[in-house]
Structure 1
Amino acid sequence: MSKLLPKWAGITLAIVLVGGCTTRLAYNNLDVWLNYRLSSYVTLSSSQESSFDQGVDRAHALHRRQEMPKIHSAIDRLQADLLSPMTFGQLQEYYTVFTRLGQDSAAILADPVADMFAQLDDSQVAQFEARLRQRFAEFDRERSKLSQSQQLAKRSERLQDFTQDWVGSLTSRQKELLTELASYQLEMSPIFRSLRNGYFERWQQLMKNRSQPSFKEQFTQLMRDMVALDSPQYQTEIRFYLNRRFELMRRLNHTMSPQQKAYLNRKLVNLRKDVALLINQ
């Protein structure tokens, strides 16, 4: 579940993480990408596939009209605030802003996905569940092959690559900070795995009642919870992790050189223009 649905729900977050024509290409071909992802989990009949395509098209149009202007506005505000060093409170606020945007996008995409799930027969549900279990096992098995130091190095490298895409070359101090962030993520791995399993169990229960009128509303809430990492059982741990991350990102932001700030500003300008073009297509 967490290897597929959050990716669907996270289209808003993807928009703010990529730039240039790649943004427009990915967004405009969302229906193709979703169908490709879905086909690796369950085999739909032609009527089910047609119904899903139509639902995605409606959701896509609604998202472009309703959510993309909000994303454009949020990026515009972020760009202005980045002119000065960011405070802890500002970082926390922008996390909340973009998480809510992601949740709202998830709610829109949940509509056709829930309709698709409601149309599945028991054998298709079993196929979907088996594929999810297989993906979970593959992910856990690959991770278990790495030592703690190897996992840390891998996470740190990914964070550095991502950050370089946005600010250019990194200093040794900035690389150290990103390694520290990677260590926070590694410490949280058991919690993240428990969250994944908890969301999966909720999905299993929902699928038993997929013919009920309340199914779509409950499924939408599940999608929103996954985007926000919401879980009453682990909320204290998640909040502690996020606060550590905000504080570290504040330190990282304060290390940025004028050249890095200019680099980031250009990226955000291009991204904002791309989102504007998507709104008006």
Structure 2
Amino acid sequence: MSNRLPKWAVLTLGVVIVTGCTTRLAYNNIDVWLSYRLSSYVTLTSSQESVFDRGLDSALALHRRQEMPKIHRAIDRLQADLLAPMSYGQVQEYYTVFTQLGQDSAAILADPLADVFSQLDNTQVAQVEASLRQRFAEFDEERSQLSDSQKLTKRAGRLQDFTQDWVGSLTSRQKELLTELAGYQLEMAPIFRSLRNGYLTRWQQLMKTRTQPAFKGQFTQLMRDMVALNSSEHQAEVRFYLNRRFELMRRLNHTMSPQQQSYLNRKLIDLRKDVALLINQ
């Protein structure tokens, strides 16, 4: 998704980053990557590092065994449905399917994170919060330096680069559609910032109860809500944005040439093979 969740959410989502020929390399080294990302936000003691490393090993083993087969089946089903132009309902359905997969993966990774967060002292909690606020401020400052047209050009370029990775060269009409999508995303920027800040506030409140038995379950729910952009305050706006995106993706899908469809199918075959190899490792 294009919205900017807090970067620390990446810790819960990294395990589902499966793209192209680098899938196995990324997945097999994700324990190192996640540990590195966590260390960029807080300095852990050796005991805390051991707790996180052991928990992460168990979580990744569970994810490989339990979630990767689900991802494999979803990719296989998507390949079959992409043989014909997709309907609005199908686009919406696959968003739901892959969001659920992301939530389930985040829930598994929330477990070792909750364990290590529950052991942080007040100084470490303050360090995490300061790191988050600094990175949020840096991101917001960077965006504030750009004009609206520059923001649109930058966002559209990213969407076009990502799409080209999956379907090959784009037509002028497809680039126009992706620029339209970029416009939707920029319109949602204030909502995305509010979501980000709301999730941070929830995390702050949770950290006050980090030694209580209910903490892990509540932290897991926060992770699931972040993946799905769940928010009682902004659910109507998020739903409106997603509906616009579903319709645009339907239109984009209907513009694909046979060559692009073949290109995408090969990419999905490679991805599915990599996932299968990971399952059987």
| Both structures adopt the same fold (TM-score exceeding 0.5) | yes
**Counterpart in the other structure of 2:143:** 143
**Counterpart in the other structure of 2:10:** 7
- TM-score normalised by length of structure 1: 0.97
Take 1:44 and 1:38, find their aligned partners in 2: how far apart are those partners?
A: 9
1:98-143 Cα offsets, whole Å, 9 max, x none, are: 0000000010000000001001011111111100110010000000
Residues 8 and 132 in structure 2, CA contact (< 8 A), matched pair in contact too: no
Residues 166 and 263 in structure 1, CA contact (< 8 A), matched pair in contact too: yes
Residues 9 and 102 in structure 1, CA contact (< 8 A), matched pair in contact too: no
**Counterpart in the other structure of 1:243:** 243
Q: Is 1:252–2:255 an aligned residue pair?
A: no
**Counterpart in the other structure of 2:53:** 53
Residues 9 and 103 in structure 1, CA contact (< 8 A), matched pair in contact too: no
Residues 156 and 179 in structure 1, CA contact (< 8 A), matched pair in contact too: yes
**Counterpart in the other structure of 1:209:** 209
1:44-66 Cα offsets, whole Å, 9 max, x none, are: 01111011000000000000000
**Counterpart in the other structure of 2:119:** 119
Take 1:165 and 1:137, find their aligned partners in 2: how far apart are those partners?
A: 31
Take 1:42 and 1:176, find their aligned partners in 2: how far apart are those partners?
A: 42
CA deviation after TM superposition for structure 1 residue 152, in Å: 0.3
Take 1:12 and 1:75, find their aligned partners in 2: how far apart are those partners?
A: 16
Take 1:14 and 1:56, find their aligned partners in 2: how far apart are those partners?
A: 16
Matched residue count: 278
- 1:169 is paired with a residue whose SS is coil
Q: Is 1:166–2:169 an aligned residue pair?
A: no
Take 2:5 and 2:212, find their aligned partners in 1: how far apart are those partners?
A: 23
- TM-score normalised by length of structure 2: 0.97
- Runs of 5+ unmatched residues, structure 2: none
Take 1:151 and 1:62, find their aligned partners in 2: how far apart are those partners?
A: 40
Amino acid at match of 1:191: I
**Counterpart in the other structure of 1:19:** 20
**Counterpart in the other structure of 1:64:** 64
CA deviation after TM superposition for structure 1 residue 10, in Å: 2.2
Take 2:223 and 2:117, find their aligned partners in 1: how far apart are those partners?
A: 13
Take 2:33 and 2:15, find their aligned partners in 1: how far apart are those partners?
A: 15
CA deviation after TM superposition for structure 1 residue 3, in Å: 2.9
Residues 63 and 108 in structure 2, CA contact (< 8 A), matched pair in contact too: yes
Mapping of residues 70-81 of structure 1, within 5 Å: 70-81=70-81
Amino acid at match of 1:137: A
Amino acid at match of 2:133: R
Take 2:80 and 2:273, find their aligned partners in 1: how far apart are those partners?
A: 15
CA deviation after TM superposition for structure 1 residue 12, in Å: 5.5
CA deviation after TM superposition for structure 1 residue 9, in Å: 2.4
Residues 88 and 250 in structure 1, CA contact (< 8 A), matched pair in contact too: yes
Take 2:105 and 2:148, find their aligned partners in 1: how far apart are those partners?
A: 35
CA deviation after TM superposition for structure 1 residue 91, in Å: 0.3
Take 2:245 and 2:227, find their aligned partners in 1: how far apart are those partners?
A: 17
Take 1:25 and 1:252, find their aligned partners in 2: how far apart are those partners?
A: 31
CA deviation after TM superposition for structure 1 residue 13, in Å: 4.5
- 2:6 is paired with a residue whose SS is coil
CA deviation after TM superposition for structure 1 residue 39, in Å: 1.1
CA deviation after TM superposition for structure 1 residue 14, in Å: 1.9
- 1:119 is paired with a residue whose SS is coil
Amino acid at match of 1:262: S
Take 2:71 and 2:185, find their aligned partners in 1: how far apart are those partners?
A: 27
Residues 152 and 186 in structure 1, CA contact (< 8 A), matched pair in contact too: yes
Amino acid at match of 2:241: Y
Q: CA RMSD in A?
A: 1.0
- Runs of 5+ unmatched residues, structure 1: none
**Counterpart in the other structure of 1:277:** 277
- 2:17 is paired with a residue whose SS is helix
Take 2:116 and 2:145, find their aligned partners in 1: how far apart are those partners?
A: 36
**Counterpart in the other structure of 1:102:** 102
CA deviation after TM superposition for structure 1 residue 7, in Å: 1.3
- 1:225 is paired with a residue whose SS is helix
Percent of matched pairs sharing the same residue? 77
CA deviation after TM superposition for structure 1 residue 6, in Å: 2.3
**Counterpart in the other structure of 2:225:** 225
Amino acid at match of 2:270: N
